Amino acid sequence: MGKVIALANQKGGVGKTTTTINLAASLAALDKKVLVIDADPQANASSGLGIDLRSVEISVYEILTEDITIDQAILPTSVDNLDILPSRIDLVGAELELLNKDRREQVLLNALKEIKDSYDFILIDCSPSLGLITVNALTCADSVIIPVQSEYFALEGISKLLNTIKIIKSKLNPKLEIEGFLLTMYDSRLKLANQVYEELKIHFRNLVFKAVIHRNIRLSEAPSHGVPVLHYDAESKGSVNYMQLAKEVIDNNSK
């Protein structure tokens, strides 16, 4: 049975998509079968894994709003062991269309049932909002990775996300857990970055990943080439960081 992990934080620009792409590629490199679900209308996870968005005929939008099975929409990527359910800009309209559906929070959960056993890990890249599509992602997820940027106001808004997770856990998905908080864009030379890391550990203790994602130019460059950083520059700090995270995720799920 595949482990479904949502990557969520309603604060934008914290590294959700970067983490989705590169954690998925690192897990795949460690011989895990991985599916990425791009649940963000910006579709950056799709383009970052080399998908030509103009050629996408069936996306998350159709899975949520039409009677289409999920296997019709899944595409292979250039990375061995890694598939993607792509997104498109029209996913923006899915929120309104879902409003009239029965059990509208569970559409993605039901769609995933037929393919969940085919993967070791399913990673869902959520949009920077707590709307109905993100609620769908959290309802079908086993756990959540929360990327936190090592900058001022980093912890602002986390309480709102944690409250949403608490509500979904009590009303829709009792098995939902926090996989971990991941510090991103970390620069150890900055006093503020170290303060944010310490504050995270004080508040959330063993829920903070040991792996930390450092600021790295290769991480920023890789998406424009449509590949994960592991395939762009395997020796870079970003590649090493995400491989450490992948090993930690595997270890945490093998206990």
Q: Rounded to an integer, what distance in angstroms lies between the CA atom of residue 216 and that of residue 219?
A: 5
Across 66-75, 99-108, 225-234, 238-247, the highest mean pLDDT is recorded for 238-247
198, pLDDT greater than 80: yes
- And the tokens for 20? 């989705």
**pTM for the full predicted model:** 0.95
* Average confidence score pLDDT of the chain: 91
Cα separation, 163 vs 160, in Å, equals 5
Q: How many CB atoms lie within 10 A of CB 235?
A: 7
Residue 84 CB partners (closer than 8 Å, separation 6+) = 35, 36, 37, 38, 45, 46, 49, 51, 74, 75, 77
**86 and 43 in contact (C-beta within 8 Å)?**
yes
Token code pair at residue 152: 């001022």
Nearest to 1 by CA among 115, 117, 92, 82: 117
Average pLDDT of 16-42?
A: 96
pLDDT score, position 138: 96
Q: What is the pLDDT of residue 43?
A: 92
Condensed to tens digits (0 to 9), the pLDDT of residues 32-68 reads 999 999 999 999 999 999 999 888 999 998 999 888 9
3-252: what fold? Rossmann fold (3.40.50)
pLDDT tens, 126-162? Answer: 988 888 999 999 999 999 999 998 877 777 778 888 9
